[in-house]
Amino acid sequence: MANQILARATVSGGVTTVQALVKHPMDSGFVKDKAGKIIPPHYIEVIEFALNGKVVLTGFWGPAVSRNPYSKFMFKGGKSGDTISIAWVDNLGKKAGTEVKIA
Amino acid sequence: MKRLYLAGFAALVLPGLAAAATPTKASAEHAIAAAEAKIKLSAAHDNQWPSTLAALKSAKAAEKKSDFATAETEAKRAEMLAGLSLQQAVSQKKLWKNAVVH
Amino acid sequence: MTSNMIAREPAIGRRTLLKVGSAGAAALLFAPIIARAASDMGGALSPDASIYPKKAFAQTSESAALKIMYGADATASDKIQLDAPDIAENGAVVPVTVSTDMPNVTSISLLALDNPYTMAASYKLTADAIPNIASRLKLAKTTKVVAIVEAGGKLYSTSKPVKVTLGGCG
Amino acid sequence: MIKRDFVIGAVIAAVALAAMPIAHAGAKPDPAADQKAFQAYFKSRFPSLPLADYVDGPYNFSKSERDQWKQIMDFPPYQFSLDTGKQMFETKFPNGKSYADCLPNGGIGIAQNYPMFDEKTGQVVTLAGAVNQCRVDNGLKPLKLTKEPMADLVAYMTYTSRGKPIDVKVPDSPKALAAYEHGKEYFYTRRGQLNFSCASCHVQEAGKHLRGDVLAPALGITASFPVYRSKWGNTGTLVRRFVGCNEQVRSVPDKPDSANYRDLAYFLTYMSDGLPIAGPGARP
């Protein structure tokens, strides 16, 4: 599927800011559907952010992270044109990732 | 307000008491038919309450289980609720104009 | 209460977004905001699910979660900024930001004490990462949100109560 | 039991009010005068609030909610809808045609003109309705009017109209005026077991809290649709909100493509003529 992750990375004063919105239900396993059946847990467990292939931040998420999770973080270094990669794996073993250039 | 509240209460309870005679399959079916007719009317006035439909549904379910007493009570309640929503719709036909911003 | 208060502030939201101007701005606006995925997979990145601290995320108390995640308890610190709303507009999406000026931060965690499971999110920072992370959390009900910072091998914490009211109308 | 009785009491109270005088009975509809009065009403209610800001709805009335919203708008949750909607819009139909071929101005920057009155059919056409007509004309099935993917497509199309002043027109024809008046009647008519009209919440009580939320003023309320609601976890259309409002006042909702909802959208959007399109929006 296309557009699993929308991301934007900008650099200013030697600091890169990364923002990402990941399309994912993040079902907690505590919510029932309209028929009253529990929606089984389905959430991202690990998400990695890397600069030119080198991981700068690793996130561990539980079911309490909102649906279509948003993240914003900063790191030192990075320049315009560098590659930010973002990839996740969820509790069902599904993976997705994307790459964006620093603007 | 209190008086209106009591009036509402009476409107709700009295038909129920009246129905307490000896509910039969025929009387339950009759009550359901009467409710359905009223419901059709309030639907035509674009004003149905979910509680009306819920009462009709439980009336029909009770009738299926040969619980005619419940069927009749629920049908009467559905009819009354439909009647109230109909009354609401009819009165609003004129009243809405009073609320218009001008 | 503040029912009829008008919360006024200059240049916000929509207007800031629209500053580009109107003629042909839509197309212009659209493209740079979102850098679309160049590839569906994140290049060489392929996170390993086995590094996920599953047990820490299955605890129902702060100390149990911290014991498993860090093997220690945290001491309160005023050097951590925890930015979360006093009243959540919707418990399903509560913006939370943690930042600190402490040096050598290696980990930041977010806990919601009255959620079914306490641990909400946890981040491992490399030396280049700046300890300033924003996330959006689900809060099941009114709860204390706790931010944990691991710096120089020690654990620090700060907390903030967030009120979650019944959502629905609007 | 007690709740039910109370509600019935409320209805009876409303019925008792039937004795009140009736204003403006039987006059010819005057949409322009209505619109002027509508906007003037809100101006006098909230004198410090610029007209254009009404499109931000509840966020004008709570600083805390406004702050959270601003944070969320930093990277709005409807971005996926925009992305999907844009793809849908640009994807050709099996017959080689596309939405651009059957909509005015290629479908771009036209949201501010809807709902529109179609003299030929004598009906109000919403933007979603025009999209579905285009699909049907090209041999495709119409999309559900309430949710994604229709909401995505309309979100994208609305996005291309951002900032443009709403410009809904009510032609001086008997049919158009009748549709307008019907929408107006729907807006002010109390319905449901809770005996609320659209106006009860979004005119009289606008800006006040109902449970955890702030009631958005009716003025400008349509400008931010479609909206991503945190409660829904996805994007929905104006009609989806109508359905929700009806349910909340305990009234059986109409069908999404009903004349009731189309005419209501027509009246409501016309009231906001001149305000900028701000959709898609984000709401709690």
Listed by start position, the domains of chain D span 32-77+172-283, 79-159
Which residues from A are below 8 Å from C139, CB to CB? 64
The pLDDT assigned to A38 comes to 86
Higher pLDDT, D210 or C166: D210
Domain-located, residue A21: yes
Say yes or no: A8 contacts chain D, CB-CB below 8 A: yes
Question: Given a cut of 80, is residue C129 above it in pLDDT?
Answer: yes
Residue D131 has pLDDT above 80, yes or no: yes
Of all residues in chain A, the one with the smallest CA distance to D229 is: A67
Q: How far apart are CA C81 and CA C85, in angstroms?
A: 13
Which chains, if any, share at least 3 CB pairs under 8 A with chain B?
D
Q: Which chain B residues are Cβ-neighbours of D204 within 8 angstroms?
A: 99
Residue C43 banded pLDDT, cuts 50, 70, 90? low
A22 found inside a domain? yes
What pLDDT score does D262 carry?
96
Most confident of B8-12, C80-84, D11-15: C80-84
pTM: 0.78
Of A30, A58, A97, the CB nearest to C116: A30
Note whether C149 contacts D: Cβ–Cβ < 8 A. Answer: no
Query: Could you tell me how many CB contacts below 8 A there are between chain A and chain C?
Result: 178
Q: Do A and B count as touching (3 or more CB pairs closer than 8 A)?
A: no
CB contact under 8 A, D11 and B100: no
pLDDT tens string A50-80 = 999 999 999 999 999 998 899 999 999 899 9
Q: H/E element holding A51?
A: strand A44-51
Contact B84 D199 (CB under 8 A): no
Give C97's strand partners: C83, C134
Residue C21: pLDDT over 80 = no
* Alpha carbon of residue B47 to chain centroid: 13
Provide mean pLDDT across the span C32-53.
62
The answer to whether residue A92 neighbours chain C at the CB level (below 8 Å) is no
Supply the pLDDT for residue D66: 85
For residue C92, count other CB atoms closer than 10 A to its CB: 23
Least confident residue range of B48-52, C8-12, D27-31, D268-272 = C8-12
Is the pLDDT reported for residue B2 higher than 60? Answer: no
A19 lies in some domain: yes
Percentage of chain D beyond pLDDT 90 is: 70
Q: Does C45 touch chain D (CB under 8 A)?
A: no
Rounded Cα gap, residues A101 and A2, in angstroms: 18
The band of D61, judged by pLDDT with boundaries at 50, 70 and 90, is confident
In chain A, the number of structural domains is 1
Q: Say whether pLDDT at C17 is over 70.
A: no
CB contact under 8 A, C89 and D83: no
Mean pLDDT over the full length of chain C: 77
Residues C48-104: tens digit of each pLDDT: 888 999 999 999 999 999 999 999 899 999 999 999 988 887 888 888 999 999 999
Q: Is D245 part of the annotated catalytic residue set?
A: yes
Residue to substitute from B49, B53, B76, B93, interface D, most D β-carbons within 10 A: B49
Q: Other CB atoms closer than 10 Å to residue C27's CB: what's the count?
A: 10
- Predicted confidence band of residue B22 (pLDDT cuts 50, 70, 90): confident
**Residue C43 per-residue DSSP state:** T
The strand pairing partners of D52, in sequence order, are none
Q: How high is the ipTM of this complex? A: 0.70
Residue A3 has a pLDDT of 58
pLDDT band for position B49 (cuts 50, 70, 90): very high
* Contact check, Cβ <8 Å, B100/D189: no
pLDDT at residue D153 greater than cutoff 90: yes
pLDDT digits (tens, 9 = 90+) for D176-229: 999 999 999 999 999 999 999 999 989 988 888 776 678 899 999 999 999 998
**CA angle in degrees (0–180, nearest 5) for A42-A45-A48:** 135
| Residue A33 domain-assigned (yes or no) | no
- pLDDT-derived band at B21 (thresholds 50, 70, 90) equals low
Subunits adjacent to chain A (3 or more Cβ pairs under 8 Å): C, D
> Smallest Cα–Cα separation from C70: which of C119, C25, C24?
C119
pLDDT band at C6 (very low <50, low <70, confident <90, very high): low
Q: How far is Cα A83 from Cα A77, in angstroms, rounded to an integer? A: 12
Within 63-102 of A, beta carbons closer than 8 Å to D belong to: 67-68, 70, 72
* Nearest CB to C26 within list D61, D109, D201: D109
- Orientation of helix B68-99 relative to helix D2-16, angle to 10°: 40
Closest-approach residue (CA) in chain D for A1: D84
Q: Do D65 and C169 touch (CB under 8 A)?
A: no
Contact A21 D75 (CB under 8 A): yes
- Nearest residue in chain D measured CA to CA from B77: D4
Residues 6+ apart with CB under 8 A from D61: C2, C3, C4, C5, C6, C7, D207, D214
Residues above pLDDT 70, as percent of chain D: 90
Domain covering D79-159, topology? Cytochrome Bc1 Complex; Chain D, domain 2 (1.10.760)
* Residue C81 token pair: 């900024």
Q: Give alpha helix (H) positions in A1-103.
A: none
pLDDT digit string, tens, across residues B87-96:
999 999 999 9
Residue A13: which domain range? 5-28+38-101
Q: Which residue of D has its CA nearest to A18?
A: D75
Please tell me which residue, D1 or A2, carries the higher pLDDT value: A2
pLDDT at D252 over 90: yes
Of D56, D229, D231, the CB nearest to C14: D56
Does domain D32-77+172-283 bear CATH number 1.10.760.10? yes
User: Chains with 3 or more CB pairs closer than 8 angstroms to C?
Assistant: A, D
**d(CA A27, nearest CA chain C) in Å:** 11
Q: Determine the 3-state secondary structure of C96 from DSSP.
A: strand
Choose among A6, A20, A67: nearest Cβ to D83: A6
Looking at beta carbons, which residues of chain C come within 8 Å of A4? Answer: 37, 40
- Which CATH number is A53's domain given? 2.60.40.10
Q: Cα C133 to the chain's mean position, in Å? A: 6
What phi-psi label fits residue D122: left (phi over 0), alpha (psi between -120 and 50 degrees) or beta? left
Residue A75 lies in a domain: yes
Q: Does residue A72 lie in a domain region? A: yes
Of A30, A66, A73, the CB nearest to C93: A66
Between chains, do A21 and D87 touch, taking CB under 8 Å as contact?
Answer: no
CB A9 within 8 A of CB C42: no
